[in-house]
Structure 1
Amino acid sequence: MKKFEAKCLEEAYELATNEFNCSITDLNIDIIQQSSKGFLGIGKKSAIIMAEQKRDCRREFRRRDTKYRKNSINIEDVSKKIAENCNNENSRECAKTKCKMESIKATPKIKEKDAIFDNFYTEARERIDEKCAKIFVKKEGDEIIKEIKRDVNNLFLGTCFVLEEIKVEFYDAETIYIEFSGDDSALLIGKEGYRYKALSYILFNWINEKYGLMLRLEIAEFLKNQEEAIHNYLLPVIETINETGSYKTKPLDGILVHIALKRLREEFPDKYVAVKTNQRGDKYVLVNEYRTKQQ
């Protein structure tokens, strides 16, 4: 019997099973000493056991070991048996595999990488060109007006607003004019024109994306009144620009800045006219002379 000592009985049992390489049920165990924690480390004792393997387990282990040694595996014999089985039982599968290998060898060689990339980008360009040609095919003006008028009226058909039939026509060759009128049309403007801005943004993105056209939106003469107000504001501004050559407008909100930009560009086509933003996020229109580089 062998002696095993550990902090507790469980660890002592584990040492014994590892030593004899068997289960704890295959051991004869005598407990010599129980483990004890003591008091504050005083009187602490470890667990001590004596263990040996049962005789029946020894015989069984020896028989298994002897049998394993007699029937040792020969790798060469196994390889021969596998080859015979492949030739006899799996001949069809082997034939299929051989055919696949021959077909792979018969395939033409892969082109060089440069040729592959050239063909890929050439085909990609052709597909993109065909797609773009389909997208940008211009429709007849009457057909465009008919489609936009139908879709816009259907959009507001189920709303709670009381509106007349929405007017849709060409303002110029590149701009669609849409006008909302009716008892509740003014409600589409919103406080400080926030609804007008949102609706203008939605309609513009749709019309510009689908037809490649600009938008002029009128709701209950809101745009007309805004244009009159900004034009009255710009009268003294234009005089000042003629005298001094430059000017910066007051902060303008929403549609006003675009109206002012258009008006000033029409008045001063040879000057630099652009929308700028200050540190607070306010937008204004700046008019100045073009800065040319001195040679």
Structure 2
Amino acid sequence: MIKIESATLEGAYKDAASTLDCSVTQLKIEVVQYPSSGFLGLFKKSAIIVAIKEADSESSAKEEKTTEAYKSEKLSDEKQKTQEAKKAKSQKQKKEEKKSNKAEVKKETIKEETHKHTILNDTIMPQSFVSTQDEEDEEDDDITSYLADYDDEFDNPDSEDLKSTAEIAKIVQEDINKLFSFICFDIDNIEVSVYDENTLLIEFKGEDAALLIGKEGYRYKALSYMIFNWINTKYQLQLRLEIAEFLKNQEESVSRYLSGVKESVDRDGRAQTKVLDGVLVQIALRELREIYPDKYVAIRSTRDGLKYIIINDYHSN
């Protein structure tokens, strides 16, 4: 497996093929970073890929197929696709009919019930648009599975003292470095330290550390979920994961954005954030609850499952 960096994806493919002494069609490629021309010459990004040569047996087997066998296979595939398309269309029609019936029933139910609304930022929103307090509590529990460092204080009567936590940090550091010694990315020795008596701080640094974050932070979320479940299950500790200052930058970005939200709260007594994704919603939730301990600060979900935060007086819920 090799890592290639070039100005364009095409150039990266060619360099990979040249390095592995094969054609591009024989490569199995994962795009780590797409190229970007930036803006006015700034923030320009090059293409980065990770490539590996596929087994020669697979390519030779493909070449041995006769023309007639290929045509037969192609016809069979087209026939199968046609059948699948018809089946999918039929299922879609059934779902639409079922959805339409549910919508009619729901409309009638709404007419019979007393209309209740929640007022947020001078905008009247149906109560069905946001989750209930119980649902919000359940959502908080779900998010803790990979964003534990933003939970409320961990209360465990059997918690280890600071000295024991420090000893655990050394064990975790040794184990996690063994685990990540097999990856192809160039990263420094992973540092594990005590963040507080119930939390370990794990830091990834190095030339390729930023590649572990992934597009829109998807690799960061996966690593955070995996590592948290390990140390929480084995040592009953929480996790604060920092990769190439990703968490620090996210916290700073959220703080800048929340300055406008605070102005709305100070002026109107209530506000709501924009839709926030992943780690951002927990960072914002923690900061807002610290600023407004006497207000109702909670996560809400849209019908599409997107999350945002409301700040309100308790009597207004």
Q: TM-score, normalization: structure 2? A: 0.48
- Larger C-alpha radius of gyration, 1 or 2? 1
CA offsets 1:118-139 (integer angstroms, 9 cap, x no match): xxxxxxxxxxxxxx99998997
Q: Distance in 2 between matches of 1:236 and 1:292?
A: 21
- Give the letter for the 2:311 counterpart: V
Partner-residue secondary structure (3-state), 1:232:
helix
Root-mean-square deviation (CA, aligned residues, Å) is 2.5
Q: Distance in 2 between matches of 1:177 and 1:138?
A: 14
Partner-residue secondary structure (3-state), 2:315:
coil
Unaligned runs of 5+ in 2: 1-155
Q: Distance in 1 between matches of 2:235 and 2:285?
A: 24
Paired position in structure 1 for 2:195 = 171
Q: Name which of 248, 252, 262 aligns with 2:286.
A: 262
Q: Distance in 1 between matches of 2:241 and 2:265?
A: 30
- Give the letter for the 2:214 counterpart: G
Q: Distance in 1 between matches of 2:214 and 2:208?
A: 11
Q: Distance in 2 between matches of 1:161 and 1:146?
A: 23
Q: Distance in 2 between matches of 1:139 and 1:201?
A: 26
Paired position in structure 2 for 1:191 = 215
- Give the letter for the 1:269 counterpart: P
Paired position in structure 1 for 2:124 = none
- Give the letter for the 1:188 counterpart: L
Q: Distance in 2 between matches of 1:137 and 1:176?
A: 13
| Aligned-pair identity (%) | 54
CA offsets 1:247-275 (integer angstroms, 9 cap, x no match): 11100011100110111011111111111
Aligned length: 162
Following superposition, the deviation at residue 281 of structure 1 comes to: 1.1
Contact 2:188 2:204 in 1 (8 A): yes
Contact 1:138 1:211 in 2 (8 A): no
The question of 1:287 aligning with 2:314 is answered no
Contact 2:162 2:197 in 1 (8 A): no
CA offsets 1:103-128 (integer angstroms, 9 cap, x no match): xxxxxxxxxxxxxxxxxxxxxxxxxx
Between the two structures, name the one with larger relative contact order (CA 8 Å, sep ≥ 6).
2
Unaligned runs of 5+ in 1: 1-131
Q: Distance in 2 between matches of 1:292 and 1:279?
A: 22
Partner-residue secondary structure (3-state), 1:163:
coil
Q: Name which of 168, 171, 177 aligns with 1:153.
A: 177
The alpha-carbon distance between structure 1 residues 170 and 277, as it changes in their structure 2 partners (threshold 3 A), is: same
Paired position in structure 2 for 1:274 = 298
Q: Distance in 1 between matches of 2:157 and 2:315?
A: 40
The question of 1:232 aligning with 2:256 is answered yes
Following superposition, the deviation at residue 291 of structure 1 comes to: 3.0
